[in-house]
């Protein structure tokens, strides 16, 4: 029985439905390195953005076409919700006890999303064969996010995810804090390196190697350094796709983008360099 304060469908400015909860669960887990996520809703779809330490920003973009139902009665809506609380709720239906896994059979579990107005909770309803479970997450104002520009891009390289993942893991094992990425347009090579007082790692991949799918670079040479701890945030995304795109601009901003072809959804990580061509970088 509905209470006097219950809302009807007409009261919500946003409503959407996905037939399978697995897609959104896996996408959000891939960027779950902060406690809260900023949610932006427009006629194009939904965007979930997280940021940490003015070093890295990541977002999930789910186009409107991904949803089986999508209705927005205003131009846009924006708010922030607790990400970890949301993922804990989704784990109930998407986990084998070890974590969220999109490969599991979730065809019978749908998810509905609802939002009424500024200050109201973000409502999520899971339905598994008629058994419904609901959570209402408190909303807050979105945080002041960095405005990061990756365009125009100087270099764009298609990479095999497993190869890149292994390189970063090796640099991590040596105990290095930064990763140097150097792109050479002449020989069409990309170099990953790291150095400490106890050792060093250098991995070079040519455009003809199995790690590189394609190589497009207008600059003769591009080089920048990044915090390894920040790059590691992209590990989860690397584990759900076979290939991804690496982009770098003249300012050394690095983009790692992952397209989930089965859901037409997109995950992108943007990294601010610590050094560009051996020169320190300041963040405003």
Distance CA 176, CA 22 (A): 35
pLDDT tens, residue by residue, 239-267: 888 889 999 999 999 999 998 866 678 99
Where does the pLDDT of residue 45 fall: very low under 50, low under 70, confident under 90, or very high at 90 and above?
very high
* Segments of the chain assigned to CATH 3.10.150.10: 153-280
Model confidence at 7: pLDDT above 70: no
Tokens 């007082």 label which residue? 197
Model confidence at 14: pLDDT above 90: yes
| Residue 20: Cβ within 10 Å count | 19
Distance CA 192, CA 201 (A): 8
Tokens 């250098």 label which residue? 202
- 153-280: what CATH class? alpha beta
pLDDT tens, residue by residue, 113-146: 999 999 999 999 999 888 899 999 999 999 999 9
Q: Which run of H or of E encompasses 28?
A: helix 22-29
Tokens 């945030």 label which residue? 233
- Is residue 145 a contact partner of residue 170, using CB atoms and an 8 Å limit? no
Average pLDDT, the chain: 87
Report the side by side order of strands in the sheet with 69-72: 69-72, 14-18, 109-115, 122-128, 131-137
Between residues 237 and 195, the one the model is more confident about: 237
- Is residue 127 a contact partner of residue 146, using CB atoms and an 8 Å limit? no
Which pLDDT score is estimated for 102? 45
Q: What is the pTM of this model?
A: 0.89
- Is residue 100 a contact partner of residue 87, using CB atoms and an 8 Å limit? yes
CATH 3.70.10.10 fits domain 11-137: yes
Distance CA 80, CA 86 (A): 12
């Amino acid at each position: 029985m509905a209470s006097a304060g219950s809302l009807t469908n007409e009261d919500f400015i946003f409503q959407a439905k996905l037939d399978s909860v697995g897609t959104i669960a896996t996408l959000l887990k891939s960027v779950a390195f902060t406690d809260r996520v900023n949610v932006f809703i427009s006629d194009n779809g939904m965007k979930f953005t997280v940021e940490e330490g003015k070093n890295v920003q990541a977002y999930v973009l789910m186009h409107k076409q991904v949803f089986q139902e999508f209705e927005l009665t205003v131009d846009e809506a924006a708010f922030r919700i607790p990400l970890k609380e949301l993922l804990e709720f989704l784990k109930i239906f998407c986990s084998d006890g070890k974590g969220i896994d999109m490969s599991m059979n979730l065809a019978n579990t749908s998810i509905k999303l609802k939002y009424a107005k500024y200050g109201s909770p973000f409502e999520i309803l899971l339905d598994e064969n008629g058994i419904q479970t609901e959570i209402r997450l408190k909303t807050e104002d979105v945080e002041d996010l960095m405005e990061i520009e990756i365009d125009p891009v100087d270099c764009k390289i298609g990479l095999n995810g497993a190869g890149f993942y292994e390189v970063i893991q090796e640099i991590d094992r040596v105990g290095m804090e930064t990763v140097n990425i150097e792109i050479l347009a002449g020989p069409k090579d990309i170099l990953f390196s790291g150095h400490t007082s106890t050792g060093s790692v250098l991995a070079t991949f040519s455009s003809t190697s199995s790690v590189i799918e394609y190589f497009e670079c207008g600059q003769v040479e591009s080089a920048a350094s990044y915090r390894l701890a920040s790059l590691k945030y992209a590990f989860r995304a690397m584990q759900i796709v076979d290939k991804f795109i690496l982009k770098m601009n003249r300012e050394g901003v690095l983009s790692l983008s992952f397209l989930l072809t089965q859901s037409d959804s997109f995950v992108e990580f943007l990294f601010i360099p610590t050094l560009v061509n051996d020169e320190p970088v300041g963040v405003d």
